[in-house]
Amino acid sequence: MSRQTLDGTSVGEVALLTSMAPLGLVMRGLLLILCHRRKASASLPSPWFRHLLLDICVTVLPLVLSYTILSDDLHPVIILTTLVLACLSFYIYHGSGSGHHLQKTTRSFLHSRVQSQNRVPFVTSFRALVNVKTAISILAVDFRVFPRRFAKTETYGTGLMDVGVGAYILANALVSPEARRRRENPPGYQRDALRKQLSSVWPLVALGLGRLVSVKMADYHVDVTEYGLHWNFFFTLAAVRVLASLLFTLFPVNKSWLVAVLLCVFYQFSLETSALQSFIIDNDCEWTQGFLHANKEGIFSITGYLVIYMAGVQIGLYVMRPRTRVKEWLKVMASFLFGSCVLYCALHVCQMTFEPVSRRMANAPFCIWIVAQCLFSMACLGTADIILLYMQSLSACYCVPSSWNPHNKDKMRRSNVVEGRCLLQAVNRNPLLFFVLANVMTGLINVTVDTFNVGRYLSVCLLLTYMFINCCVMQTLHNYGVTVKFW
């Protein structure tokens, strides 16, 4: 892999790739509605394996193809998919008998009440999709069919895989204990939370040590410009969680946005006015000079990831506010889109004023880009959920997954039956296990297959087989109600 090609792709192309998953979720919902409309409701819920195949076809398959053989044809693929969805939606709407009462139906829908059962569906989808996209990317990058512009950038640039590391941090922050709080916490709560956090991050440290040992034993090539010689992403996750809990003992949770801004400004100021920037990107440092020199990328980028985490907690506080009407959730989507646009503009200004995005340093432009991209992604997923809920109300089919439940016990029961079979729910149940399993599978495939010399179509087949195995394991655990959490 030539280093000259590791400068990423455009911000626009990364955002365009984001739209594939929401389109797939809408497709899945519309297909289930059509199944119901054809008097096949008696077969719902069908065997879980059929639901798994459907999820893989409409969620995993489009992502794999868009990351590989269709990467140069994203615009026509998205336009064609949107047209198909529009035709399916019109067909469902035309057969619903609501044609003469569209205005009344829409008004009633906007004021209808929904039940989220202490969770926000599009946040669940976002967190699960971050894991799914990461799992695809960490293996796909080893094949030639994966475009080099999507790989992690070396120093500056916006690569598709650069989004994954930041989005994973923000996804964890969205459902952190601080973001899910519902009332003021008693005195001393944050100190107790810090102690619990210190005792709960040991699996991440253990996984980091396990990865370090296995990589060294297998003599697996690792680019030291990512995190350094010994550091890896598991150590970063553990450090960010502990440092965030420490900050929350000093600052109120509802001011996490302010902490994020101050940290971001301070870190960028340090990069610009000191020798820190040249120290981090200097490839000529001798690793024998000490642990800090050998792992400078991983250690100093923690500050940037901490900024993203604190921003994610603030977003989580906003999202987790009690809301019961569709109209209120539409305002949330509008807020996300507006915030995303503002941050994209700020990103442009920062890149013109300071420096380009750098995952290696996790500088201010990188932090702004990650938060903007995540807001845009959640806005798309939330809009997809609202579209499905509207089509659900038109067709009186309450078996649409990954959407809010109607505020009716009987309708909720029917919706939950199918929703429980959704792959994204299964992945979200054991996200860390899915991430570890994907890493283990990636290592095994790289040991047994010469991935770089595999042909285009065989590469896609291997990627789909790999994802099928990962998804089957998660779905089986979900079907039996197994949550793997040993800390």
**pLDDT, tens digit, for every residue of 352-385?**
998 999 999 999 999 999 999 999 999 999 999 9
Residue closest to 389 by CA, chosen among 97, 37, 121:
121
DSSP-assigned beta bridge partners for residue 113: 325
Position 214 scores a pLDDT of: 84
Strands (E), 206-265: none
Residue keyed to tokens 């432009």? 365
Judged against a pLDDT cut of 60, whether residue 114 lies above it is answered with yes
Position 150 scores a pLDDT of: 93
Cis before 45 (ω within 30): yes
Locate 2 and state its tokens. 């030539």
DSSP per-residue codes, 345-396: HHHHHHHHHT----TTTT-HHHHHHHHHHHHHHHHHHHHHHHHHHHHHHHHT
The C-alpha atoms of residue 422 and residue 437 are separated, in whole angstroms, by 19
The C-alpha atoms of residue 244 and residue 210 are separated, in whole angstroms, by 24
Amino acid letter, 149:
R
The predicted model gives 259-265 an average pLDDT of 96
pTM as predicted: 0.91
Mean pLDDT, the chain, whole residue set: 85
**pLDDT, tens digit, for every residue of 300-312?**
999 999 999 999 9
**pLDDT, tens digit, for every residue of 300-351?**
999 999 999 999 999 999 998 888 888 999 999 999 999 999 999 999 999 9
411 vs 27, more confident: 27
325 three-class SS: strand
Judged against a pLDDT cut of 90, whether residue 63 lies above it is answered with yes
Give Cα separations from 149 to 2, 9, 75, 152 (angstroms): 11, 5, 17, 8
39 vs 45, more confident: 39
117 vs 76, more confident: 76
pLDDT band at 448 (very low <50, low <70, confident <90, very high): very high
Amino acid letter, 393:
S
Position 99 scores a pLDDT of: 55
Per the CB < 8 A criterion, the answer to whether 478 and 426 are in contact is: yes
Per the CB < 8 A criterion, the answer to whether 313 and 173 are in contact is: yes
Residue keyed to tokens 């009344």? 104
Amino acid letter, 143:
F
Position 417 scores a pLDDT of: 45
Position 419 scores a pLDDT of: 52
Residue 341 has phi, psi (to 5 degrees) of: -60, -45
Position 117 scores a pLDDT of: 56
177 three-class SS: coil
113 three-class SS: strand
% of the chain beyond a pLDDT of 90: 54
The C-alpha atoms of residue 58 and residue 60 are separated, in whole angstroms, by 6
Position 163 scores a pLDDT of: 94
The predicted model gives 271-290 an average pLDDT of 79
Judged against a pLDDT cut of 50, whether residue 1 lies above it is answered with no
State the Cα torsion 144-128-246-181 to the nearest 10°: 160
**pLDDT, tens digit, for every residue of 162-216?**
998 899 999 999 998 888 875 555 555 666 666 777 777 888 899 899 888 888 7
Residue 114 has phi, psi (to 5 degrees) of: -130, 160
Position 410 scores a pLDDT of: 47
Position 456 scores a pLDDT of: 93
DSSP per-residue codes, 251-289: S-GGGHHHHHHHHHHHHHHHHHHSSHHHHHH-TT--GGG
% of the chain beyond a pLDDT of 70: 85
Judged against a pLDDT cut of 70, whether residue 16 lies above it is answered with yes
Locate 110 and state its tokens. 């906007």
Judged against a pLDDT cut of 60, whether residue 286 lies above it is answered with no
Position 4 scores a pLDDT of: 45
Position 147 scores a pLDDT of: 94
Locate 4 and state its tokens. 């000259």
